[in-house]
Chains A and B, each alone.
Chain A
Amino acid sequence: MKDKRMTLFNFVRGAAAILISLAVGTVFIFLTFALAEKHYTFGECLENTGEALRYMLIGPLFKKTGDFNTMGLFQILAAMIPITFTGLATCVMFSANQFNLAGEGSVMAGGFVAALCGIYLKMNTGLHAVVCIVVAAAVCALIMLIPALLKVKLGASEMVTSLMMNYVIMYVVLHFLNVHFADRSKGSTQTFPFAATSKIGEIIPNGSKLTWGFVIAMVFVVLTALFMYRTRWGYAIRMIGANQSFAKYSGMKVGGTIVLSQVVGGMLAGMGGGIEVMGRFNTFLWKELPGYGWTGVTIAILAKNNPIFVPLAAFFIAYLNKGCSLMSTYCNVPSEMIDIIQAAIFLFFAAEQFLSGYRQKLVVKNTRADLMKTAEGRKA
């Protein structure tokens, strides 16, 4: 009974945080119309805001006629693939209290390495794609050793190193893309196309880009959850995150575990980058950091660092992302709205004391009820 109420409270709290974030977004959408070049009346502004909200919140899954948009659902599921991986990566690293933010760079590095394997290796269908992804994951795991070892051996802040590494990775990838691997016959900078054997195919070939990568992502959600909650390494990671000194004095290998959490994080992020590139595109054409790493942080926060909730959070963000891009296409509200909403989610969802007064009341009420019960029990 007590636990049920607390779960309900946590649910309500999360919902309230999301509602507030959407409300903040709504205010900005309204302001966009109120300040638009074309002078709308107050009524028109409200009407346009309503229309924009409809596109953002209902548009991704329902057409204007009210019919269910199956293609939309496929596209949202497809968009979940990379951010599920970065979300998982962030969960593992943040669980150990390691604020490593190089997921962003890892996605780009992983994508690039996978692309190179896809272009220059010759292998059988199926095996080829697997090799691409494994190599991408391995390279990113190695990259993450840098901030991890610097943290453990020298005490250098993994946060600052990883932030700097994002830029370094971006420029190094751009260097090799532009100077060594560019297909000069094309107008924009891109690599040669991947070999057909290395492509990750769609589950249902309908152009939605919902590839088998989605299935791999879901498998890794389960694997990561098992790793975190059913192995001693996962336990050590969570223990160190909860109380590093306690973990140390109870004999855990703190350094090794910190390194492990970041290497696993890098592996997951790199895998996500590889799968995204090999599934969605035919050549490597990212010219800047793709942003999936930061989205991964939002997802980890929404999932409260629990891998099992990552798909749910990823679905929510992918849905909102789709909604924002629809809103920008049809209502001329910039799709960057998603960043404002995400920032608000960050602030409220991660706020431990948000609605704490209400929780206090709940605790008091529960305790009173318990006391009454024991008192009654004694009387009887």
Chain B
Amino acid sequence: MFSQLMSMVLTEDFLFSIIRITAPILFAALGAVVAEKAGVTNIGLEGTMMISALLGMLVSYWTQSWVLGVLMAVLVGILLGLMMGFFNLKLKTDIILAGIAVNMLGGGGTIFLLNMLVHMKGNTGSLSSANILIPTINIPLIDRIPVLRSLLSGHSVLTYVAFLSVLLVWILLYRTSLGLNIRAVGENANAASSVGVSVNKIRYIAIGISGAFAGLGGAFMSMYYSQGWNSGMVAGRGFIALAAQAMGRGEPVGAMLSSLLFGLAQALKNKVTGLTGLASYNYLVASIPYIVTIVGLVIYAASTIRRAKRHRKASEEK
């Protein structure tokens, strides 16, 4: 059984699937990073992904253009982000509650919308076709190198966007004045405000960007990963992204690494589920990604505390 598993894991196919599975989590995790840097906990990522996945998918079906579908998903993400921002910043609804509201819309509201717009129940089934899915790109030369090709070639356009976004978010946060403002607002809103930064404006922008990333993640799910929308599709990826953000110390690169870890857990789960002889453990195996998330958070939290202690000790010795 173990050797069977090893032979399945040590394949290029497996590497490919890790990258594929990581991408949507990475999008949402980057969304969480940008929001958290501005001091906003965006727990609504999950619902945002669901809603933008549905509307992106439907727009691509109506227009028969995947580009318009993705743009729609991003737009929906931004609008939902701004809506959360409006309620949190203007009307002072707790940001967690605003996020839960968005998640409720993502859970039941999407089923309602689906019925309202195309009169279908629970999934979009027959609506998607090959021409409106997000296309994949084969990179010449690299697609002939073993191992490397499954990491770098043949992925969907959005997969490349996801990993490029890590760099973009880093540049945004550390090399632009907007990023400086975002970090200042998150670090100490009063101090930022006292030097003339409009805290609310920055937070609106940050949560809007956060929503846009969740929208991309949603588009990836419905227009590439699942090839259609269904009600159980996102399955906690928005929440896992929050954990990835926390584990990645709120930094884009760290979030990418922890997203990859969760991608690995999920890919492993998919592989093990397919193994004969383990069929009776399918449900337990399905919980692996979530357990890995909890364990990851614990290890991260414990290491932070140990580092803080060591730091204190070092400064005392001085």
| Chain A residues proximal to chain B, CB less than 8 Å | 28, 31-32, 35-37, 99, 101, 150, 154-157, 159-161, 163-165, 167-168, 170-172, 174-175, 178-179, 294, 297, 301, 334, 336-340, 342-344, 346-348, 350-354
Contacts and interface: CB of A to CB of B under 8 A. Distances in A.
B246 to A, nearest CB: 6
B93 A31 contact: no
19 contacts: A35-B116, A35-B117, A37-B119, A150-B294, A155-B301, A155-B305, A160-B246, A163-B239, A172-B287, A301-B97, A336-B111, A336-B112, A336-B115, A339-B104, A339-B105, A346-B93, A347-B93, A351-B93, A354-B91
A343 B101 contact: yes
Contacts of B91: 347-348, 351-354
Contacts of A159: 41, 43, 96, 242
B104 A343 contact: yes
Contact of B287 (A101, A168, A297, A334): A168
B26 to A, nearest CB: 17
Given A294-B104, A334-B115, A343 B297 contact: no
Interface in B25-67: 41, 43
A346 B44 CA distance: 13
Given A294-B100, A339-B107, A346-B101, A352 B92 contact: yes
B65 to A, nearest CB: 22
A159 B293 CA distance: 13
B89 to A, nearest CB: 9
Interface in B273-318: 280-281, 283-284, 286-287, 290-291, 293-294, 297-298, 300-302, 304-305
Nearest to A169: B287
B154 interface: no
Interface residues of B, number: 49
Contacts of B109: 336, 339-340, 343
A340 B87 contact: no
A295 B264 CA distance: 33
B116 A31 contact: yes
A170 B284 CA distance: 10
Given A37-B119, A168-B294, A340-B105, 4 more contacts: A161-B294, A164-B236, A164-B293, A297-B97
B286 A171 contact: yes
B297 A160 contact: yes
Contacts of B287: 167-168, 170-172
Contacts of A301: 97
Interface in B100-126: 100-102, 104-105, 107-109, 111-112, 115-117, 119
Contacts of A347: 87, 91, 93, 97-98, 101
B13 interface: no
Given A157-B297, A159-B96, A347-B98, A338 B242 contact: no
B240 interface: yes
Contacts of B43: 159
B187 interface: no
A52 B293 CA distance: 44
Contact of A165 (B112, B294, B301): B294
A81 to B, nearest CB: 22
